[in-house]
Amino acid sequence: MAQVLEFKLPDLGEGLTEAEIVRWLVEVGDVVAVDQPVVEVETAKAMVEVPCPYGGVVTARFGEEGTELPVGAPLITVAVGAPASGGPTDAAEAPGTQDAPAAAGSQGSGNVLVGYGTSEAPARRRRVRPDRPAPSTAPLAPTLAEPTNGRARTAESADGPVAVISPLVRRLARENGLDLRELTGSGPDGLILRADVEYALRAAAVQGRTTTATPAPHPRVTAQPTVTTAPAAASAGTRVPLKGVRGAVADKLSRSRREIPDATCWVDADATELMRARTAMNAAGGPKISLLALLARISTAALARFPELNSTVDQDAREIVRLDHVHLGFAAQTERGLVVPVVRDAHARDTEGLNAEFARLTESARTGTLTPGELTGGTFTLNNYGVFGVDGSTPIINHPEAAMLGVGRIIPKPWVHEGELAVRQVVQLSLTFDHRVCDGGTAGGFLRYVADCVEQPAVLLRTL
């Protein structure tokens, strides 16, 4: 006996509540294996392929590409086969419940899907219907338990997935506002057929009541008020939904502005020696060292001297939590919008290690394959907005962090060097910080140390 199981959009972690369907990986009628990815979705933080914990035949898909679904909404239904048994009366012999894993076989899902487990598909309870006469050549009419309600209802509502295989039947019911759970199917093992839906619609029509709405006792036509708004005002502008990455960024930045009393200080620095040091490093062979990696190494050294800025505020406990590890986020602009990948344990990495991890995460950001874990948990953020050709900025802190270091473009400028006017490579550095975790003296000391390292990279030798 085949059992139709419904697979719902699981909780993908990190408190995500919705996801957008980007691409279906299976079609209706395809055979899928346990843990086979069936759909690619975009959450507020990453692109994720969702594996199905059941193996069988895909009988329905819910939602077109581009549709946004909440966690817990149906994704697909799968007809799962079971070992052949003695006949339709086998189910009636078991007065208890029947588990979905038994129908799906002993093999379980190895993927972590919140609400589905990691070893076996979840047990589902199904009430056993009493034996019915064998179906004849003409489909049997579904039972109407309450003829006065205008809808086809069973004596008891079934738990779990609706026994419908045909997408056409689902569409017919959906278009007419008919709840399939209110029907008793006349097909094998209670399968709801198209004839069952059509019969229920005819029965509702005969009782003088449609399946989509309850008509008023005295129907009347009311004139619609005349719209007096000017056409220009009605059509002005284009509305863009705040969802996906853009929505997540909007929520996080708004929360930061509400909760964090931030302040910004900045300083110009002569980066000529830093650029020369980078040129010498790259001339020595091996992977090319990026400017971002050098700035990251300077930042971790500065955080070791000023740990107040590697902290967060627990508002409920009214405590400042100073963190032992530096998880360094860096802002990356992608086609999907702004993302902030996180380099774990940046304080324990040297410049080459930081460079390699930046390269890996940047490539994942461009291809949209960053995992939620690679986009969360940062304790300090490095923002290189100089790539946009600007000198300065007052960025918004990445909540719940306490500070963000901003780096502008490095360009030739007149600069007094060793008592003489010269053309030097100058950069503007800015630090936006949470004023609750420290005073201006600490923030200024941090920024001054970063600027000193930029101007004289040899300063770092003291801490290497």
Question: Catalytic residue positions?
Answer: 435
DSSP 11-43: B-STT--EEEEEEES--TT-EE-TTEEEEEEE-
**Cβ-contact 121, 101 below 8 angstroms:** yes
Half-sphere exposure of 214 (CA within 13 A, CB side): 5
Structure tokens at 78: 């799968």
Alpha-carbon distance 165 to 189, whole Å? 12
DSSP 8-state code for residue 180: G
Which tokens is 352 given? Answer: 């080459």
Beta carbons within 10 angstroms of residue 72's beta carbon: 12
423: which DSSP letter? Answer: E
**DSSP states along 141-200:** PPP-S-GGGSS---SSPPPSS-----HHHHHHHHHTT--GGG----SGGGPPPHHHHHHH
CA–CA separation, 23 and 225 (whole Å): 43
What span, in angstroms and rounded, lies between the C-alpha atoms of 244 and 342? 19
Q: Is 428 helix (H, G, I), strand (E, B) or coil?
A: strand
Give the total residue count for the chain: 464
- Show Cβ contacts of residue 73 under 8 Å, excluding neighbours closer than 6 positions: 8, 9, 62, 63
**Contact between residue 416 and residue 385 where contact means Cβ atoms under 8 Å apart:** no
**Residue 24 near residue 61, CB atoms below 8 Å:** yes
Considering only CA atoms, give the Rg of the chain.
31
